[in-house]
């Protein structure tokens, strides 16, 4: 067994036979051990590594899909893919396909309907004015007739009082003549009065009786005349009340018709405005400066629906940023303004994740926004803006470029990091240095915001 071991490790036996070689090997191993032990106490920057892609900092700077607000048919294209357009430039023109809007004189005819309804409103206004004047005249007539009837009632009351006074006088005269006749008849029996005088008294008594009867008849006539005058007064109020009620009813009908016409005019004006605004949707224009990157509708005569995409525009003036996704367990370690180093696809780099100061080809940034809810992939999205105070990002970057990011955390010893990795512990909780610049200041120095 011992012979077999010597035969298996011949090189080791040769080294063991040379004392100088053994001492040299031991010295080298000791030096390497000391170097390894010293390296354990070197500083190490804890970090979270994740991947992402280049995007824009503001929502209005991201690729925008231009949509057709109304359904229509493509009549003419004014741009091609890759063309640069300014805000307000015409991209495409469409025509109408709905039956309700095919009339080329739709606006003109709607305007004619509006004028006709406005004329009808003026007619109703004139009718209402005429009815108001008629009501005013009826009220004046009623007042005049009422005054006349009241005066007549007063006259009849005065006449009745006069007739009653005459009746009272005739009754008094009748009583006196009757008493005189009775007295003279008694004196005739005594021979004091002659028969002729007695007959004269009888005639006077009969005359006074006739006057009394006539006065009573006149009183009855006066009473009837007073009742007729009062009835006529009541009839005047009833007659003019009916006429005024009829006129008021006609006025309310005219007002109601006028209001209906005004409502129809309002609807027609609304329709006219809608038609006018809709006609402006036939020309689809660029909402901002940018490049036409993709057309979703092709050819001439193709029908598009309302809300359907026509093309995509990439804004020309943008502020780049990087969106990255981190695990939920790493979220408590990330704060706004935290430093991040990036490696962009296509750029040569030499990365030492624990020693960022010796890294070459990375680009700095700071956390700008953190989502409060997870994305569809179960991770949390963070948005990182460039730190222009440290280093400019490449101008050749395009939206969608892949990135690999290193979120820098606490600085610890190498031995601690090895111990943490072996035990599976999370990184130390990172606290921002109050003296570090905030992300808002870094973003304010971006070229697009000067």
Region of residue 378 (left: phi > 0; alpha: psi -120 to 50; beta: else): left
Domain match, 126 and 241 both: yes
Whether residue 292 is found in the same domain as residue 432: no
Q: What is the CATH number of the domain that holds 87?
A: 2.40.50.100
Q: How confident is the model at residue 19 (pLDDT cuts 50, 70, 90)?
A: low
Q: Are 305 and 71 in contact (CB under 8 A)?
A: yes
Q: Which residue has the higher pLDDT, 442 or 63?
A: 63
Cβ neighbourhood burial of 290 (10 Å; 0-12, 13-18, 19+)? buried
Do 115 and 88 lie in one domain? The reply is no
Establish if 33 belongs to a structural domain: no
Is residue 21, in this structure, part of any structural domain at all? no
**What pLDDT does 425 receive?**
60
How confident is the model over 377-432, as pLDDT tens digits? 888 888 888 888 888 888 888 888 888 777 766 666 667 667 766 766 666 643 44
What is the domain extent for residue 351?
Answer: 39-58+318-449
Q: Among 221, 256, 278, give the residue marking a domain's end.
A: 278
Calculated CA dihedral for residues 178, 183, 184, 186, nearest 10 degrees: 130
Give the model's pLDDT for residue 267: 92
203 in Cβ contact with 108 (< 8 Å): no
Q: Could you give the CA distance from residue 193 to residue 305 in angstroms, rounded to a whole number?
A: 134
Identify which has the larger pLDDT, 411 or 169: 169
Residue 340 domain-assigned (yes or no): yes
Average pLDDT, the chain: 79
Tell whether 273 and 298 lie within a shared domain: no
Query: Is the predicted pLDDT of residue 27 greater than 70, yes or no?
Result: yes
Residues 431 and 346 in one domain: yes
Write the CATH number for 249. 1.10.287
Ranking 180-184, 260-264, 299-303, 375-379 by mean pLDDT, the lowest is 180-184
- Domain containing residue 400: CATH number: 2.40.30.170
Do 267 and 137 share a domain, yes or no? yes
Residues 226-244 have pLDDT tens digits of 888 888 888 888 888 888 8
The Cα–Cα gap between 421 and 351 comes to 19
Whether the per-residue pLDDT at 280 is higher than 70: the answer is yes
Q: What percent of the chain has pLDDT over 70?
A: 79
Q: Which of 291, 314, 337 is the last residue of a domain?
A: 314
Check residues 413 and 264 and name the one with the higher pLDDT: 264
The neighbouring-strand residues paired with 382 are 324, 370
Q: Which helix (H) or strand (E) covers residue 200, if one does?
A: helix 195-280
Whether 423 is covered by a domain: the verdict is yes
- Cβ pair 54, 296 in contact under 8 A: no
Under 8 Å between Cβ of 448 and 317:
yes
Q: Alpha carbon of 231 to those of 41, 140, 152, 227: distances in Å?
A: 127, 20, 11, 6
- Whole-model pTM: value is 0.56
* pLDDT of amino acid 413: 65
106-189 and 195-280 helices, crossing angle to 10°:
170
Residues 135 and 147 in one domain: yes
**Using alpha carbons only, how large is the chain's radius of gyration in Å?**
59
Closest to 320 in 3D by CA, of 349, 338, 342: 342
Instruction: Report the number of distinct structural domains present in the chain.
Output: 3
In this predicted structure, the answer to whether residue 7 has a pLDDT above a threshold of 60 is: no
Our CA angle for 230, 234, 235, nearest 5°, is: 115
pLDDT score at 270: 92
- Distances from the Cα of 5 to the Cαs of 10, 11, 13, 374, in angstroms? 9, 12, 10, 62
Query: Phi/psi zone of residue 286: left (φ > 0), alpha (ψ -120 to 50 degrees), beta?
Result: beta
Q: Which residue has the higher pLDDT, 430 or 182?
A: 182
Say yes or no to pLDDT of 189 above 60.
yes
Residue 205 lies in a domain: yes
Shared domain check, 254 and 127: yes
Are 114 and 243 within one domain? yes
More confident residue, 296 or 181: 296
pLDDT in the model for residue 340:
82
State mean pLDDT over 249-272: 90
Decide if pLDDT at 331 tops 60: yes
pLDDT in tens, 36-93: 777 666 676 666 778 888 888 888 888 888 888 888 899 999 998 889 999 989 999 9
What own/partner pairs with CB < 8 Å and gap ≥ 24 does 106-112 have? 106/275, 107/272, 107/275, 107/276, 107/279, 110/268, 110/271, 110/272, 110/275, 111/272
Q: Are residues 116 and 178 in the same domain?
A: yes
The answer to whether residue 101 is domain-embedded is no
Q: Say if residue 205 is in the same domain as residue 341.
A: no
Burial of 3 (C-beta count, 10 Å sphere; 0-12/13-18/19+):
exposed
Asked whether residue 1 carries a pLDDT value surpassing 50, the answer given is no
11 inside domain: no
- Tell me: do 290 and 269 sit in the same domain: no
* Domain-terminating residue out of 278, 297, 326: 278
Q: In whole angstroms, what is the distance from residue 382 CA to residue 48 CA? A: 13
Instruction: With respect to residue 8, please indicate whether it lies within any of the assigned structural domains.
Output: no
Higher local confidence (pLDDT), 182 or 54: 54
Looking at the chain, how many residues does it have?
Answer: 450
């Amino acid at each position: 067994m011992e012979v077999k071991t010597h035969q298996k490790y011949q090189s080791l036996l040769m080294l063991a036979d040379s004392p100088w070689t053994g001492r040299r090997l031991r010295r080298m191993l000791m030096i390497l051990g000391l170097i390894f032990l010293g390296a354990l106490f070197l500083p190490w920057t804890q970090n979270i590594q994740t991947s992402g892609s280049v995007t824009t900092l503001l929502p209005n700077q991201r690729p925008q899909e231009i949509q057709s607000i109304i359904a229509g048919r493509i009549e003419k294209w004014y741009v091609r893919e890759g063309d640069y357009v300014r805000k307000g430039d015409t991209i495409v023109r469409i025509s109408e396909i709905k039956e309700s809007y095919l009339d080329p004189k739709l606006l003109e005819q709607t305007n004619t309907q509006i004028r006709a309804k406005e004329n009808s409103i003026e007619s109703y206004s004139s009718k209402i004015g005429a009815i108001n004047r008629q009501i005013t005249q009826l009220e004046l007539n009623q007042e005049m007739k009422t005054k006349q009837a009241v005066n007549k009632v007063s006259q009849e009351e005065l006449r009745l009082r006069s007739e009653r006074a005459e009746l009272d006088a005739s009754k008094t005269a009748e009583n006196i003549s009757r008493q005189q006749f009775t007295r003279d008849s008694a004196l005739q029996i005594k021979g004091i009065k002659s028969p002729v005088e007695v007959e004269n008294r009888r005639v006077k008594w009969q005359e006074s009786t006739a006057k009394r009867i006539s006065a009573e008849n006149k009183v009855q006539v006066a009473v009837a005349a007073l009742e007729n005058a009062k009835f006529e007064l009541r009839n005047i109020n009833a007659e003019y009340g009916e006429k005024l009620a009829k006129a008021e009813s006609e006025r309310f009908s005219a007002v109601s018709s006028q209001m209906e016409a005004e409502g129809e005019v309002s609807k027609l004006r609304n329709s006219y405005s809608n038609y006018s605004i809709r006609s402006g949707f036939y020309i689809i224009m660029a909402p901002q400066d940018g490049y036409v990157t993709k057309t979703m509708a092709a050819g001439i005569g193709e029908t598009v629906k309302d809300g359907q995409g026509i093309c995509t525009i990439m804004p020309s003036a943008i502020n780049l940023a990087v969106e990255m996704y981190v695990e939920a367990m790493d979220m408590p370690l990330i704060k706004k303004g935290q430093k991040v180093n990036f490696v962009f696809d296509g750029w040569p780099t030499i990365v030492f994740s624990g020693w960022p100061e010796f890294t070459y080809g990375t680009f700095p940034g700071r956390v700008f926004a953190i989502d409060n809810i997870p994305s569809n992939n179960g991770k949390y999205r963070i948005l990182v803006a460039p730190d222009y105070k440290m280093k400019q990002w490449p101008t050749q970057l395009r939206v969608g470029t892949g990135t690999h990011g290193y979120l820098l955390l606490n600085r610890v010893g190498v031995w601690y990091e090895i111990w943490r990795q072996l035990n599976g512990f999370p990184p130390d909780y990172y606290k921002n240095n109050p003296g570090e610049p905030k992300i808002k200041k870094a973003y304010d120095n971006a070229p697009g915001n000067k």
